[in-house]
Structure 1
Amino acid sequence: MKTIRFGIIGCGLMGREFASAAARWMHLTDTKARPEIIGVCDKNEALMGWFTTHLPSVTQTTTDFRDLLANPEIDAIYCAVPHVLHADIYPQIVAAGKHLLGEKPFGMDRAQNEAIDAAIAARPDVLVRCSSEMPYFPGAQKVIDFVRSGAVGNVLEVEAAFLHSSDINPDKVINWKRDVNVNGAYGCMGDLGMHVCHVPLRLGWRPDRVHASLVKQITQRPDGKGGMAPCETWDNATITGNVPSENGNFPLVLKTWRIAPGESNTWSLRVLGMNGSAFFTTKSPRQWQFMQYEAGGRQTWQVEDLGYQSLFGSITGGIFEFGFADAIQQMWAAFVDELAGGDAGGFHCATPSEARAHHNILTAALASGTSGQVVPVDYAR
């Protein structure tokens, strides 16, 4: 089996998730290649100790990401750093000839995303993808396959949502996602937008105009030093877009909420159509719901238990449940499969063009949310 050697830039939560997925690659069956993490980088040296303790393959640690890029033994990079650093680091990774799986949103704003795109265009030999793991849940794949089969018919409405609840606590210490200079003016849309845009964009549903309702409920939080700091970014965003269709336009509703009472980390996708409808939520990870309708017939939702049905085969028995760590590993399997010349199991990771389109949507949504107007989405770049 081919080995693809990785470096990690950013040794926080998601860096550790990738390391865990790579360490248990034996969980997967019939893969063309496997990842091996040989280098890690973080400004906080203490974070790298976890990697050197748990991964004997790591031979390089550094606080300067350029050291990883200069290492000829490294084939690809996973980069998980705050949004403000994307436009600086991502182009350097690509220019160095390293394949890249980068965290969303691929730039803090549209201008930064354009700079990243320019670097990608200059190196067509480098594979670049954007992290988005939730569509790899089996139930999500069932909804996607249902739509692709034509079972939906004329679409009535699509809703995609990613909901958190932890920020409902006003005493939660502030983090960088509340700093507009680090997170960007998109606020919650920047960090969660690719999660809700990935599948609609993959299925060809591009809104031509949007209206956004943006909510800033908590204006300041504890700074962790005994004082208070301003919360500069949006808590919640509900975007309603109009998707052109030859069979009649339909609304696309995108929800990115950090204050969603009772929700822990819920991703959902609902597609309603004249002939069929489908729904999946990570709150019920082993199930999906669907309805198939004929004129004059009954309208009955069906619920199917899926168990463990992954895009890339695994040793887990089909009776068991699929979870977040599995979705992360499936996403990585798709990326590694592409690097090895495969088709990513028929569902590749989010592409730079999809990241670009989602920036166009979020740019229009931000303008709409601050003006109160319906704003056209400009895809002309």
Structure 2
Amino acid sequence: MSTPTATAAAPVRIAVIGAGLMGREVASAFGRWFALLDCPVRPELVAVCDVNAAALDWFRQVPTVRHFDTDHRVLLARPDVDAVYVAVPHHLHEALYLDVLRAGKDLFAEKPFGLDLAAARRIRDEAVKLGRFVRVSSEFPFLPGAQRAFQLARSGALGRLLEVRCAFLHSSDLDPAKPINWKRQNKFCGEAGVMNDLGLHVAHLPLRLGWKPTTVYAQLQKIYSTRPDGKGGTAPCDTWDNATLHTTATIGGHPVPLTLEMKRLAPTETNTWIFEVLGTDHGVRFSTKEPKTLWRYTRTPEQTWSKTDLGFGTPFKTITGHIFEPGFPDILQQMWAAFLAERDGLLGDRFGCATPDEAVAHHEIWTAALASHHEQKIAHLG
């Protein structure tokens, strides 16, 4: 475990490798850090790296950034960097993550934590060997509704569990004219396709609850085999677009159906994250389609669902009034607060970011799913 580096006067100095969408979101989250009331650690974005020099220009408006690099090795050699966030295509994860760790920096990694299971295990094992603090990005569990649903699922109050459903659904790929990008090609995204891209969002809460599948039957779909290449031609689109995994997890000593869904072609869905647990006594359901609503079921003669409108009840308190509702920038900031607090041993009983072991475990599920689909039979996890 790393030595704590931050005090009220000495923030944790963060670097970003990958100056795209998520890197800019991180800069925004740090710029609003004063909105947090009880986070014991303060970050400062000091360095940004991208092979595309033009991508660095946006960060020149961030007053704390003093290093703009196009070679990540130059950035990692800088002594005024404590931890690094890396947001790059999946095929680059292993090499860059290992370079970060071997440079003596802590790592906030992006999903899926390597192109495949073997890569994820090598990254995790190197972090353990070097004693570096590593966590993996997964934002949606930090929503108030997700937190309440997680707490109810963990409490044991639902009775004997009947079934669990976890899903993350997109619809943008329904348009066949959408140009190809790296997430739609196996050589960049990985053979697991949409499971690599969206899977940790789906698996984070079940794995944190100890609900790792023991069996998997996978239904995988490739919908469009080609897409426009942006240059007047077409390019192969060879990743799995949709994945539905029918799994079994042992919960409370009993086998329970656990469905995991990851889809890029799900009509009407825009970044819809779902967590639903049904038991004999109670049930709970939360979806980002209704971001401030928590649904709860109670076994009564009429077996009704009731809903509660939630306010701004995030793990780390903020200046925002309870009547408002959080959005993605808020939960991204909450996730970073959890990363920094846990890095300094100050997380307490708050919810923590996805761990390297959980990232490896989710790769184990996708590896079993690929085998299940290929062999058209149930795959067993050890």
Q: TM-score, normalised by structure 1?
A: 0.96
What SS does structure 2 have at the residue aligned with 1:310? coil
Give how far 1:311 is off: 0.8
Find the counterpart in structure 2 of residue 192 from structure 1.
Answer: 198
Question: Which residue, 260, 265, 279 being the options, matches 1:259?
Answer: 265
Give how far 1:244 is off: 2.0
Matches within 5 A, 1:271-286: 271-286=277-292
Find the counterpart in structure 2 of residue 64 from structure 1.
Answer: 71
Distance (Å, rounded) in 1 between the aligned partners of 2:381 and 2:94: 22
Find the counterpart in structure 2 of residue 96 from structure 1.
Answer: 103
Distance (Å, rounded) in 2 between the aligned partners of 1:39 and 1:196: 31
Give how far 1:246 is off: 4.7
Matched-pair contact (CA < 8 Å) for 1:334–1:344: no
How many aligned residue pairs are there?
Answer: 374
Find the counterpart in structure 2 of residue 108 from structure 1.
Answer: 115
Give how far 1:371 is off: 2.1
Give CA-to-partner distance per residue, 1:44-102, whole Å, 9 cap, x none.
1111110112x111111111111121111100000001000111111111122211111
Unaligned runs of 5+ in 1: none
What SS does structure 1 have at the residue aligned with 2:159? coil
2:18 matches 1:14: no
2:186 matches 1:177: no
Unaligned runs of 5+ in 2: 1-7
Find the counterpart in structure 1 of residue 3 from structure 2.
Answer: none
What SS does structure 2 have at the residue aligned with 1:289? strand
Distance (Å, rounded) in 2 between the aligned partners of 1:93 and 1:285: 36
Q: 1:191 to 1:153 in 2, by over 3 A?
A: same
Find the counterpart in structure 2 of residue 39 from structure 1.
Answer: 47
What SS does structure 1 have at the residue aligned with 2:44? strand
Matched-pair contact (CA < 8 Å) for 2:160–2:252: no
Find the counterpart in structure 1 of residue 5 from structure 2.
Answer: none
Matches within 5 A, 1:298-377: 298-343=302-347, 346-377=350-381
Give how far 1:247 is off: 4.2
Give how far 1:298 is off: 3.8
Find the counterpart in structure 2 of residue 76 from structure 1.
Answer: 83
Q: 1:9 to 1:345 in 2, by over 3 A?
A: farther
Matched-pair contact (CA < 8 Å) for 2:180–2:237: yes
What SS does structure 1 have at the residue aligned with 2:254? coil
The one-letter amino acid of 1:211's match is Y
Give how far 1:368 is off: 1.1
Matched-pair contact (CA < 8 Å) for 1:334–1:345: no
> After TM superposition, what 4+ stretches of structure 1 lie above 6 angstroms from structure 2?
none
Distance (Å, rounded) in 2 between the aligned partners of 1:344 and 1:368: 40
Give how far 1:370 is off: 2.2
Identical-residue share of aligned pairs (%): 49
Distance (Å, rounded) in 2 between the aligned partners of 1:204 and 1:339: 22
Q: TM-score, normalised by structure 2?
A: 0.96
Q: CA RMSD in A?
A: 1.1
Find the counterpart in structure 2 of residue 5 from structure 1.
Answer: 13
Distance (Å, rounded) in 2 between the aligned partners of 1:160 and 1:245: 15
